[in-house]
């Protein structure tokens, strides 16, 4: 309960500017912040579908205000953020998928690179103290797929436009920290900024196109077999509450010691806890008693996606005292059980898992 007490003490009554609040991870983050007693202003594009999690949980009612706008609009970002005068900024807004980045590379770079620069520039214009956590991805690393778990100091890179855009965003973040938010000048600028790199998140309510869990759920709903593009690919699967808890813990530590954590942090499962796409699919389907309801894709023309990707979270464990609470299998089962439970609303299911995660496992 020590972590929960710290989070409640830190965020209760605080003003939080949350970009990407209408997205899958953003909707979970919005619920956790609301549960902790924070006042949230969201800034994001509108939800794409009626059954997106944000709509299912009544996300608008969880916000002090919800701004539907684009992070590519510098003037709007700056106006809304400076007017709100937040204590914390969590920047989640992004074009977050690999395959669509091949179709719209320029939009991907504009959103992920310039969108991040716009949020940081808006923070620079903010007169008071503010703590900012910039969310990127585990895919920011140059990945030769040799089996090593990536550490924060490893080389940045990216084969596909999505990964490259997020690596570029990391460079932008580091530049702003060094140029405008240095530790030595904190008394003048009063800004603390860190970047965070998390793995492939899964959880209830994800309706995205081209992601494995929503693909499985749609196949179950239509009575089809799931088609696996890369069944042997290894990913750092983690329940969405794992990185959210980590982001909040980091922000709380930054609030306590504003010059001590202005850096990059990995938040991933133990790198020995490896599961392939096929492993995830079988475990997920087992909750529905359909373990074999999948098939492997034989298309050899598919675009490049990394087949092996793991993070080393030693830094977060040693400096922040953070460790993952759920194994990959538990994360998969929690997710499948969320979709399988038809007795509760989406908001009730999320609240139940939030309470269990933060009260039982911390």
Q: Confidence class of residue 305 from pLDDT cuts 50, 70 and 90?
A: low
pTM as predicted: 0.94
Average pLDDT estimate for 140-167: 91
Residues facing residue 191 across a β-bridge: 130
Q: Mean pLDDT check: name the lowest of 40-54, 228-242, 274-288.
A: 228-242
CA distance 183 to 190: 9
Question: Among 98, 180, 101, 88, which Cα is nearest to 134's?
Answer: 88
Q: Confidence class of residue 307 from pLDDT cuts 50, 70 and 90?
A: low
DSSP state for residue 148 in the 8-state scheme: P
Indicate the class that CATH gives domain 2-202+239-268+308-327+347-360: alpha beta
Q: Confidence class of residue 148 from pLDDT cuts 50, 70 and 90?
A: confident
CA distance 159 to 145: 12
Q: What is the pLDDT of residue 297?
A: 79
Q: What is the pLDDT of residue 2?
A: 76
CA distance 239 to 204: 9
Q: Confidence class of residue 360 from pLDDT cuts 50, 70 and 90?
A: confident
CA distance 194 to 321: 16
Average pLDDT estimate for 199-206: 92
CB–CB of 219/251 below 8 Å?
A: no
Question: Among 86, 80, 177, which Cα is nearest to 127's?
Answer: 86
Phi, psi of 276, rounded to the nearest 5 degrees: -85, 170
Q: What is the pLDDT of residue 302?
A: 57
């Amino acid at each position: 309960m020590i972590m929960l007490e710290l989070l409640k003490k830190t965020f209760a009554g605080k003003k939080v500017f949350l970009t990407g609040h209408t997205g899958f991870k953003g909707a979970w983050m919005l619920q956790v912040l609301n549960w902790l007693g924070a006042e949230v202003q969201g800034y994001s594009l509108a939800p794409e579908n009626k059954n997106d999690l944000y709509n299912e949980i009544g996300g608008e009612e969880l916000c002090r205000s919800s701004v539907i706008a684009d992070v590519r609009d510098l003037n709007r970002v700056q106006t809304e953020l400076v007017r709100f005068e937040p204590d914390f900024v969590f920047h989640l807004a992004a074009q977050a998928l690999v395959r669509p980045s091949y179709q719209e590379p320029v939009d991907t770079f504009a959103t992920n690179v310039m969108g991040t620069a716009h949020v940081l520039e808006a923070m620079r214009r903010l007169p008071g103290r503010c703590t900012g956590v910039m969310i990127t991805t585990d895919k920011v690393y140059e990945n030769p797929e040799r089996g090593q778990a990536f550490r924060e100091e490893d080389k940045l890179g990216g084969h596909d436009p999505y990964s490259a855009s997020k690596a570029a965003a990391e460079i932008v973040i580091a530049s702003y920290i060094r140029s405008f938010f240095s530790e030595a000048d904190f008394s003048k600028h009063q800004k603390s900024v860190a970047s965070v790199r998390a793995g492939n998140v899964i959880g209830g309510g994800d309706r995205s196109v081209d992601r494995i869990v929503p693909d499985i759920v749609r196949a179950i709903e239509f009575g089809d077999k799931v088609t696996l593009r890369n069944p042997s690919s290894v990913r750092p699967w983690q329940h969405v509450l794992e990185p959210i808890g980590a982001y909040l813990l980091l922000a709380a530590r930054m609030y306590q010691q504003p010059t001590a954590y202005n850096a990059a942090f990995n938040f991933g499962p133990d790198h020995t806890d490896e599961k392939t796409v096929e492993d995830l699919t079988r475990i997920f389907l087992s909750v529905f008693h359909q373990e074999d309801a999948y098939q492997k894709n034989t298309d050899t023309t598919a675009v490049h996606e990394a087949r092996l990707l793991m993070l080393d979270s030693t830094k977060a464990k040693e400096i922040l005292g953070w460790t993952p609470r759920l194994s990959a299998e538990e994360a998969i089962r929690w997710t499948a059980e969320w979709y399988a439970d038809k007795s509760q609303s989406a908001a009730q299911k999320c609240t139940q898992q939030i309470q269990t995660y933060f009260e039982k496992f911390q």
